[in-house]
Structure 1
């Protein structure tokens, strides 16, 4: 769940796992690598960068 001014965003699926890793100390490649280890066979290399781009466009992530 993301708490934003005047709204709440409920994250579905493994979105929370991605957002938790966005702590300012990791690059996107590092997030993808870590999630790839946690979820072998999942298409994280394709989906995670696109997801993070969408979050940036919404202004939810800098």
Structure 2
């Protein structure tokens, strides 16, 4: 169940940091209690979460980079929902 609107703006929660980790050969989300190794799709979404860009702009940006991917917007919304539920991001 999505409890946010596409015009809202996601932001990484305080204490969370996204970075490339060469040893993991992937992006990771670091936080005080640990680390989450991200797949490439999750990393592409999180890289666009800057606290200024609304969800619609994130979807449009990724749709421009990956044209003709069916269901891309639903996948992005589903990931944002999971990231919000996991408390990786806040949505304002």
Compute the TM-score of the two structures, normalised by the length of structure 1: 0.92
Query: What is the root-mean-square deviation in Å for CA atoms of aligned residues?
Result: 0.9
Q: Secondary structure at the match of 1:14?
A: helix
| Count of paired positions | 62
Structure 2 unaligned regions, length at least 5: 1-27
- Bigger RCO of structures 1 and 2 (CA < 8 A, at least 6 apart): 2
Structure 1 unaligned regions, length at least 5: none
1:40 equivalent in alignment to 2:62: no
Deviation at 1:14, TM superposition (A): 1.8
- Which structure shows the bigger proportion of residues in strand conformation? 2
Q: How does 1:1-62 map to 2 (within 5 A)?
A: 1-42=28-69, 43-62=71-90
Q: Which segment is superposed worse, 42-51 or 23-32?
A: 42-51
- Which structure shows the bigger proportion of residues in helix conformation? 1
Bigger Rg, structure 1 or 2:
2
Compute the TM-score of the two structures, normalised by the length of structure 2: 0.64
Q: Secondary structure at the match of 2:35?
A: strand
The whole-number CA distance in structure 1 between the counterparts of 2:46 and 2:52 is 13
